[in-house]
Amino acid sequence: MSQLQTLRGMADQLPTGINSWQQLEAIAREHMRRACVSEIRTPLLEATELFARGIGAATDVVGKEMYTFNDRGDRSCTLRPEGTAGVVRAAIQNGLLSQGPQKLWYSGAMFRYERPQAGRMRQFHQLGLEFLGFNEPRSDVEAIVIAWDLLMDLGLKELKLELNSLGNKADRLNYRNQLVKWLEQHQNQLDPDSQERLQTNPLRILDSKNPNTQELLKTAPELVAALCPESLERFEQVQLGLIALQIPYQLNPRLVRGLDYYGHTAFEITSAALGAQATVCGGGRYNGLVEQLGGADTACIGWAMGLERLVLLMQNQSSTTAAAPDLYVISQGEKAEAIAIKAARELRQKGHRVELDHSGAGFAKQMKRALKSAAPFALLIGAAEASSGKLQLKNLQSNSSELVELNQLAGLLGI
Ligand code: ATP
Ligand code: MG
């Protein structure tokens, strides 16, 4: 029989690497708590129409990356490829927006049928933030600062924040016409993907990963030149906000988010250490989406981070060590083993991290494992200890031992 395997592009997270994930999740949760952003959890499976309407049919995600199938009731369902559409649907469906603006975050698995490579998976994980009902440039600044500070706290180095403004609808239409006109003059120099996008989604060509197209685009008209005075003023406000908080950024006139409902602020945070899959966080303002999904006109800004890429960076750039137990419990003999499990339970109830050895092997063997666990203390219970009720607590650093009773243990561990 052939060995069963994960599907292509899907990975197990094994105990040896889980520490970075847990650390990342804990730091993210704490940053959201401090910023008074509330968590929201939405289903992994949604009606396909949500993404077709919410992300846009002309995008790569909807056009070729979704896991879509009909369920047994013949409804077209899709495994979520991103989090924003579901969060906005949930906010509309549950009347959250009628209770006032919402600061929300989510984290979980997303699914895209892409060509797997380092930092690009078919099941991957995102942490996202969505501010629904916020229009002030200050809210753009707050959203960006939360992302930036979180990444700094993960111990990541050499991150780059790139910023652009997509302006309002009229600015974009204006620019789109200019760009299409210019691109049509250079059509034969464009890669095939970009030629196709010229008809469907020309702004997205700016995001092309093709080096020749990128080179060509250096001389293309720039979006910022098409912004009206109000859009420019808004862009300036966001930049002044970042400067005031000493968040370093670079303007990138070719940074776009592909979707029609994105406008004004667009940003990405990248790490040169990641190679081709450099973007760890992408975000922007999406004032048209809530309406597009059937809600009232609502100004929104949000971002999403790719956790696989962050974990790769954390494992290379910051030190994460597995937590050692506070105590390693060694026992031999029936009576001793019964005391051992009782001691472990009581200490765990007091909050200690206790590893219980079940092997029944000789003391020397169990002691070897205790040393390997890096616990500061081992508790030894043999026949003599079991009958006297005096247990041997060994300090594994100093190698000294003392006899203690069960009820003294928690105090002696001193953790
Ligand atoms: P990319 O240009 O890398 O394909 P994207 O524009 O498709 O990114 P978004 O939809 O903005 O990505 O998602 C936000 C973040 O989620 C990305 O910046 C990235 O860190 C992460 N991400 C996106 N797709 C994947 C994937 N297939 N595997 C792992 N992480 C991903
Ligand atoms: Mg992509």
CATH number at residue 399: 3.40.50.800
- Which of residues 262, 286, 317 is at a domain's end? 317
Per-residue pLDDT, 258: 66
Are 251 and 132 in a shared domain?
yes
For the stretch 306-351, pLDDT in tens is: 999 999 999 888 666 667 999 999 999 999 999 999 999 999 999 9
Ligand nearest to the CA of 276: 1
Which of 262, 294, 317 is the last residue in one of the domains? 317
Closest residue by CA, ligand 1 atom 23: 306
Instruction: Please write the tens of the pLDDT for every residue from 143-193.
Output: 999 999 999 999 998 899 999 999 999 999 999 999 999 999 998 888 988
- Let me know whether 355 and 303 are in one domain: no
Q: Does residue 162 share a domain with residue 33? A: yes
Strand 76-79 relative to strand 401-404, pairing: unpaired
Is the beta carbon of 336 within 6 A of some atom in ligand 1?
no
In this structure, are 24 and 158 located in the same domain?
yes
At 98, which CATH number? 3.30.930.10
Pair (115, 263) in one structural domain: yes
Q: 336 and 297, same structural domain?
A: no
Asked which of 317, 343, 368 is the last residue of a domain, the reply is 317
Task: Tell me what pLDDT residue 276 has.
Answer: 79
Closest approach atom of ligand 1 to CA 209: 2
Cβ atoms 298, 256 nearer than 8 A:
no
Quick one: tokens of 384?
Answer: 């003599």
The b-or-e profile of 221-252 (16+ CB within 10 A means b, else e) is ebbbebbeeebeebbeebbebbeeeebebeeb
Look at 120-129, 264-273, 283-292, 404-413 and tell me which has the smallest mean pLDDT. Answer: 404-413
Distance from the CA of 104 to the center of ligand 1, in angstroms? Answer: 20
61: its two tokens: 């995600």
| Residue 91 within any structural domain of the chain | yes
Ligand lying nearest the CA atom of residue 207: 1
361: pLDDT strictly greater than 60: yes
In a domain, 157, yes or no: yes
pLDDT value of position 409: 87
The pair of structure tokens assigned to 177 is: 């016409």
| C-alpha 309 – ligand 2 centre gap (Å) | 13
In a domain, 174, yes or no: no
State pLDDT tens for residues 259-305.
Answer: 777 899 999 999 988 887 899 999 999 999 999 999 999 999 999 99
Same domain (yes/no): 347, 290: no
Cβ-based neighbour number of residue 72 at 10 Å = 5
Q: Which two tokens stand for residue 7?
A: 């599907």
Taking the model in full, what pTM does it have? 0.90
Cα separation, 46 vs 36, in Å, equals 28
Residues 360 and 304 in one domain: no
Report residue 203's pLDDT band, with 50, 70 and 90 as the boundaries: confident
Q: How far away, in angstroms, is 116 Cα from ligand 1 center?
A: 12
180 in a structural domain:
no
Q: Whose CA is nearest to atom 10 of ligand 1?
A: 82
Domain assignment of residue 334, yes or no: yes
Has residue 127 been placed in a domain? yes
> What local confidence, expressed as pLDDT, does residue 413 receive?
80
Please tell me the number of the ligand nearest to residue 82's CA.
1
Residue 86 and residue 65 in one domain: yes
Domain carrying residue 407 = 327-413
Q: Are residue 268 and residue 404 in the same domain, yes or no?
A: no
pLDDT value at position 321? 66
Tell me if 309 is assigned to some domain: yes
> Of all protein residues, whose CA lies closest to atom 25 belonging to ligand 1?
120
Q: What is the pLDDT of residue 273?
A: 87
Q: What is the pLDDT of residue 196?
A: 86
Q: How far apart are CA 196 and CA 182, in angstroms?
A: 15
Q: Domain total for the chain? A: 2
* Minimal-distance CA residue to ligand 1 atom 8: 279
Q: Does the CB atom of residue 120 touch ligand 1 within 6 A?
A: yes
Residues 39, 129 within the same domain: yes
Does the Cβ of 207 fall within 6 Å of ligand 1? no
- From CA 412, how far away is CA 245, in angstroms rounded? 46
Tell me whether residue 207 is in a domain: no
Q: Are residues 282 and 379 in the same domain?
A: no
Average pLDDT, the chain: 93
pLDDT of residue 316: 86
Q: Is 309 in the pocket of ligand 1 (CB under 6 A)?
A: yes
* The pLDDT of residue 63: 87
pLDDT in tens, 86-113: 999 999 999 999 999 999 999 999 999 9
Return the structure tokens found at 272: 């040169």
383: CA distance to ligand 2 center in Å? Answer: 62
* Ligand 1 and 82: CB distance under 6 A: yes
